[in-house]
Amino acid sequence: MPDLIVENIEKQLGTAQVLCGVSFELQQGEVLALLGASGSGKTTLLRSVAGLERPDKGKIEIRGKVVFDAASGFEIPAEQRGLGLVFQSYAIWPHRSVFENVAYGLRLRRVPDAEIRQRVGDVLARLGLGHLADRYAHQLSGGQQQRVALARAIVYNPPVLLLDEPLSNLDAKLREDARAWVRELIKQIGNSALYVTHDQTEALAIADRVLLLDRGQIQQDGTPQEIYGRPTSQFAAEFMGSNNRFDGKIAEISANRARLENHGWSLWGKLRGNKEPGAPGTGLIRVERVRLADGGGENHLKMQLKSALYLGERWEYVLQLGELRLRVWGEEGRAPGECWVAIPQEEFWIF
């Protein structure tokens, strides 16, 4: 039985339709990332699961128990859903010590004092906060506050852990560390988690499965590898990674491959979606999949290298052919001039 079932959730805020029929399931022990730009509805979706927003339509079940059903007007309030939620701003109660912040959920559940001390102590120790139990929020660093928020959300073993951009208030360096240990922690305690983020790297790194949301709809639902490596829509392809884009016309179709052409170039690639020859098409390839080549060949283009930018760990070349501009990464500096570019067919998606 899945830990969480969300069925056909719709929600309107003011005049904007924020969620237009979203459904998904969260399996026991799975970490699911809700990935989307701001305004995609990901936070509204999370808050609907938490019970902080009331959707207009749809149904939500937690561990087989219906907590919301618009059809019958049934709703279990947030406080009775038993979930754990980590806020973007952490929302540490400033008038309570770290210990009391974490203990609050247990006190509400009337857990005996001795057990509270032990369980809170365990969680704080596990998160490396043992020595900070008596501190208050203003005496903690951002990273420590974030751990307290996490400790507070997991201490009473919620069936589903909800995380709303939990790392976005951390410095870049801390964030990279946090990615790893947050995933480790969730996996260790074996909780299922719903993780909202706008940061694709974070989503790919932390989640077992990613839901890509756009304008209130799920664009793609898959493993991180599928989302990045086999996008099913042009939106999904363009949302992830850095891309080179080719606008042209479908010249020829053979099986699942197509030839896209425009002035001065013609390339074979994998056809995604239904297209007829003669229709306008868009070709996309990840920047890191394009390489400079030594000479001509199949799916090779002869282009002008306009400039080479030094980015630290690599070089970026800007190439031009008519109206087509490409970015290509390489190892060394290059002088402007003519050069060949290889566009691997398998990696070139035509939509």
Partner 1 sequence: MSRTLRSFAVIGVALVVFGPLGLIIYQSFLSEAFFSPTASLSLGAYRYVLTDSGFHSAFGTSLLVSLGMTLISVPLGSLLAFLLVRTDLPGKKFLEPWLLVPIFLSPVVLAFGYVVAVGPVGFFSLWTKALIGRVPWNLYSLYGMILIAGLTHVPHSFLYVSSALRTLDPSVEEAARVAGAGPWRIAATVSLPLVLPSILFSAALIFLLGFELFGLPLVLGDPAGLLVLTTYLYKLTNLLGVPSYHLMAVVALSIVALTFPLVYAQRRMLRTAGRFAVIGGKGQAFRPLPLGALRWPAVAIVLLWLVVTVLLPLIGVALRSVVSQWGEGIKLFDVLTLDHFRELKGYPNLVRGIVNTLLIGSIGGALSVVFYAIIGLAAHRWQSRWVSFLDYLVMLPRALPGLIVGLAFLWVFLFFKPIAPLRTTLFSLWIAYTVVWLAYGLRLISAALLQVKPELEEAARVTGAGQGTVYRDVTLPLIRFGLIGSWLLVFMMFVREYSTGVYLLGPGTEVIGSLIVSLWGTGALDLISALSVIEVALVGLILFIALRLGVRLDA
Give 13 or 125: the residue with its C-beta nearer to partner 1. Answer: 13
In the complex, least distance from residue 94 CB atom to partner 1, rounded to whole angstroms: 7
Give 153 or 324: the residue with its C-beta nearer to partner 1. Answer: 153
- 41, 58, 105, 269: which one binds partner 1 (CB under 8 A): 105
Whole-angstrom CA distances from 289 to 201, 242, 244, 248, 328 are 18, 10, 10, 20, 8
In the complex, least distance from residue 9 CB atom to partner 1, rounded to whole angstroms: 18
What angle, rounded to 10 degrees, do the helices at 113-126 and 98-108 form? 130
In the complex, least distance from residue 28 CB atom to partner 1, rounded to whole angstroms: 21
In the complex, least distance from residue 241 CB atom to partner 1, rounded to whole angstroms: 31
**Residue 233 token pair:** 């829509």
36 belongs to the binding site for partner 1 (CB under 8 A):
no
Q: What is the CA radius of gyration of the chain?
A: 25
Identify which of 207, 182, 185, 175 has the alpha carbon closest to the alpha carbon of residue 194. Answer: 207
Looking at beta carbons, which pairs linking 186-189 to residues 24 or more positions away fall under 8 Å? Answer: 186/31, 186/161, 187/29, 187/31, 189/154
Residue 92 CA neighbour count, 13 Å, CB half: 25
Question: What residues between 37 and 96 interact with partner 1 by CB under 8 A?
Answer: 50-52, 77-85, 87-89, 91, 93-95
112 belongs to the binding site for partner 1 (CB under 8 A):
no
15 belongs to the binding site for partner 1 (CB under 8 A):
no
- Stretch 162-181: interaction string toward partner 1, x if CB under 8 A: x-------------------
Identify which of 174, 98, 168 has the alpha carbon closest to the alpha carbon of residue 140. Answer: 98
- 65, 109, 187, 325: which one binds partner 1 (CB under 8 A): 109
120 belongs to the binding site for partner 1 (CB under 8 A):
no
Rounded-to-integer distance, Cα 131 and Cα 267, Å: 62
Binding site for partner 1 (CB under 8 A): 50-52, 77-85, 87-89, 91, 93-95, 104-105, 108-109, 152-153, 156, 162
